[in-house]
Amino acid sequence: MVDKNKIVNKGTCPVCGTACFVKAHISDGKIKKVEPDQETMMGWLCERGVNAIDYHYHKQRLNYPLKRTGSRGEAKWEQISWEQAMDEIAAKLDTIRDQYGPEAVLVLGGSPHGPGDAAAWKWCNQWGTPNFFHLGKNCGEAEFPIECAMYGYDTTAGWTTFLDPKKTGAAIIWGANMHQSEPRIWMGYSISKKMGLKLIVVDPRPTECAKEADIWLQLRPGTDGALALGMLNVIINEGIYDKEFVEKWCLGFDELKALVQRYPPENAAQITGVPAEQITEAARVFANAPAGVITWGVANCHLGNGAGLSSVLGKCWLRAITGNLDKEGGCRFSDYPDYTALLDELNWDYQINHPLRTRDNVSADRWPLTSVKGLALYKEGMKKVYPKGWGAQQYFIFPGPYDVWEAILKGKPYPIKAVFDQGTNTLCSIGNSRHAYQAFKSDNLELHVSMDHFLTPTGALADYVLPATDALERVHLTHMWGVLGDQWYGREAAIDPEYERKDDYQLWCDLGKRLGQSEFWPDTLEGWLDRILAPAGVTLKEFAQMPGYAPPSKYKRYEEKGFGTFSGKVELVPSILTRLGYDPLEGYQEPPWSPVATPELAKDYPLILISGARVRQFHHSSHRQIAKLRKKYPHPLLQINPQTAADLGIAEGDSVYIETPLGRVTQKAQLLEDMQPNVVHADGYWWYPEKPEAEPSLFGVWESNIDSILPNDPEVCDYVGNNYFRGLLCRVYKAE
């Protein structure tokens, strides 16, 4: 139990999944003040974090388990006990497993819930379902599989650490706007730039990062692959790549060299709209720097079929042939050390060889790169480097959203009968969210359980709603998503949970104990974290009193073990991709909807649409209940060029319709100088917690939610089934 008489307790910020460390000032059993714990590297509070108390004590917090009594979406609930909820849910799961197999369960997750996410994957592996995906589906999944296929490591460590201007000469921010999404990280880039770092930003929008760039490459949305290939053309043809590294460590260079001959800067300029001289300058600055980094970012995971693969491959090729892989000051590899037992505890081998599972995930035939058979191939190829598996190997198995909804609605390729959504709001984060809505409403779905801090539009369609603790109320261990695993930090709870809130681990623990998994589940989250930390010889309580563990950075680890590929080298034409039926040398492909690919569609929908950029006030679809944050950002905004707006009769602040072939939504116009005249950006993730829960309102989810009018059919999704959020077509006009 937490000592309520203490004046200050250390804890974790509850407002998003970043897990910054705080000090909570407590009196009379209540938190009165939260401030960053500046004694740790994790101490930080952003615009969201300063509202931690308002979040924690918000009147709309879920406090008790609820069971649906009316129709789904009718907003009729009865309060029940946690024990009753677990008994009934477990009994239903048992029946579903007997009738349809363990694969008939789908688990959805969203903003990271710390150890609760790892617990969900552990439960899925023990249970035998390969059908689960989290926030990472449309975030890291496009980049991670390609990086690991090409060089058997990932480079997220190079993005999420402060740069060393003494070593890092150039950085390319590509597919991200850290000023809004990761202000703590952006601080490091901004400081490094003032100390000599050359900053290149690839972004269609005039973001804060773009405005500070030495070179801003303002490309046509979705043409990232052509830009990368144009830069590669310059680097290869001018001989400014790392010849020694390429000769010793790379396979497939001749094939890559032949490919890029199709993309001289002049050709790339015609495709992207970026002047040829800018493409050449950016290529030279990056290749000639003593060391350079290229960020990964969610935008490259949102470009749709064809465009997405060429974009991500291009970034990986640029990192590789310039010799910046795991180089000091370059793209440092993240690692997953053996001083924790997390990989053992997650039981990933069960995902490949489970006694009850007989089927792959529902999208395995369509997108084999993320499937059980894909996971097995990656594990075999990477075993020299990761004998127990790569830390974030859940990214190798997430099914495509389109197929999970079809499995519920049509039972193809086999039925999904139960859904858990935990810390997510699927209706505000998935393309064509009305498809997901139809699945959640379907009588074919026999069980839907939602666990969160607040009732969301997605949770409003559930059969059971469970109240989750926030990070102030639970213990914490960082990096349990499997990335950046070489740096670990622990934290105790700052205050005891109120009402009947439970930490996310408890859901899976209590179900596991009821469904034949008792030996795998310690009674409490702290007990499980103790087991994970056992190889380090510390308990969670002891570790939380330490400053954490961040061993000295290692570089060029491939010199000892080689690369985590079948050949042990950087495979510029990745054998994993070719074995699974992909063509890495196909070159640049247009986005599925574009003025070039679909000119007839562009006649009716003449503007290029991008959506879903991050803003500091909100974390995806969260925090719109918080009054101080909503005051700063009260409405969803459509960013549009002032002249384009004037031509359409639209003024600043006007309500406008954004329309695609799938429908229309309403947002407020924000006139933005330097926005390309034919490009608009629509805010993502919007719903209105202040509006009625019951249908047809469903918290206003259909009013401004751009995801509800974006396509999700397989023809437009990318090579792992990610949804298509950027580089589409739309029209905009003043709302009536």
* pLDDT(485) > 90: no
Name all domains of the chain by residue range, CATH numbers in brackets. Answer: 8-56 (2.20.25.90), 66-140+334-544 (3.40.50.740), 155-332 (3.40.228.10), 599-734 (2.40.40.20)
Per-residue pLDDT at 161 exceeds 80:
no
Q: Which residues pair with 658 in a beta bridge?
A: 665, 732
pLDDT per residue as tens digits for the range 85-135 = 999 999 999 999 999 999 999 999 987 777 889 999 999 999 999 999 988
| Residues 391, 483 contacting (CB under 8 angstroms) | yes
Question: 5: pLDDT confidence band, cut at 50, 70 and 90?
Answer: low
For residues 181-204, average pLDDT? 89
Listed in order, strand segments (DSSP E) in 76-143 are 77-79, 105-109, 132-133
Amino acid making up residue 324? N
Q: 10 Å Cβ neighbour count for 419? A: 26
**Number of other residues whose CB lies within 10 A of the CB of residue 599:** 9
Query: Residue 160 above 60 pLDDT?
Result: no
pLDDT at position 158 is 56
Residue 571 pLDDT: 98
Whether residue 403 has pLDDT greater than 90: yes
Collapsed DSSP state (helix, strand, coil) of residue 595 = coil
Q: How far is CA 500 from the centre of its chain?
A: 29
The answer to whether the CB of 227 falls within 8 A of the CB of 213 is: no
More confident residue, 390 or 413: 413
> Residue 476: its pLDDT value, please?
93
* Per-residue pLDDT at 455 exceeds 70: yes
**Contact, 402 vs 713, CB < 8 A?**
yes
Q: Which amino acid is at 126?
A: Q
Q: What confidence score (pLDDT) does residue 553 get?
A: 79
Q: Which amino acid is at 551?
A: P
- 480 pLDDT higher than 70: yes
Decide if pLDDT at 4 tops 80. no
Mean pLDDT of the chain: 93
Residue pair 582/369 in contact (Cβ under 8 Å)? The answer is: yes
User: How far is the C-alpha of 61 from the C-alpha of 445, rounded, in Å?
Assistant: 27
Residue for token digits 């000051």?
A: 329
pLDDT band, very low/low/confident/very high, at 481 (cuts 50, 70, 90): confident
The stretch 707-720 carries a mean pLDDT of 96
Q: Which residues pair with 230 in a beta bridge?
A: none
**496 touches 11 (CB < 8 A):** no
Determine the pLDDT at residue 6.
66
Give yes or no for residue 731 having a pLDDT over 60: yes
Task: Give the burial string for 446-482 (b: 16+ CB within 10 Å, else e).
Answer: bbbbbbbbbbbbbbbbbbbbbbbbbbbbbbbbbbbbb
Question: pLDDT category, 488, cuts 50, 70, 90?
Answer: confident
Nearest to 227 by CA among 179, 189, 265, 259: 265
Using the predicted structure, report yes or no on whether residue 3 has a pLDDT greater than 80: no
| pLDDT number for residue 356 | 93
pLDDT digits (tens, 9 = 90+) for 355-390: 999 999 999 999 999 999 999 999 999 999 999 888
pLDDT greater than 80 at residue 2:
no
Question: Rounded to two decimals, what is the model's pTM?
Answer: 0.96
What value does the mean pLDDT take over residues 446-463?
97
pLDDT for the residue 180: 86
Residue 523 has pLDDT above 80, yes or no: yes
Is pLDDT of 162 > 70?
no
Say what percent of the chain tops pLDDT 70. 98
pLDDT, one tens digit per residue, over 582-638 is 999 999 999 999 999 999 999 999 999 999 998 988 888 889 999 999 999 999 999
pLDDT of residue 482: 80
Q: What is the mean pLDDT of residues 43-71?
A: 92
Give the pLDDT of residue 156.
Answer: 81
Residue-level pLDDT at 19? 82
Residue 15: per-residue pLDDT: 85
Q: Is the dihedral of CA 3, 13, 422, 335 positive or negative?
A: negative
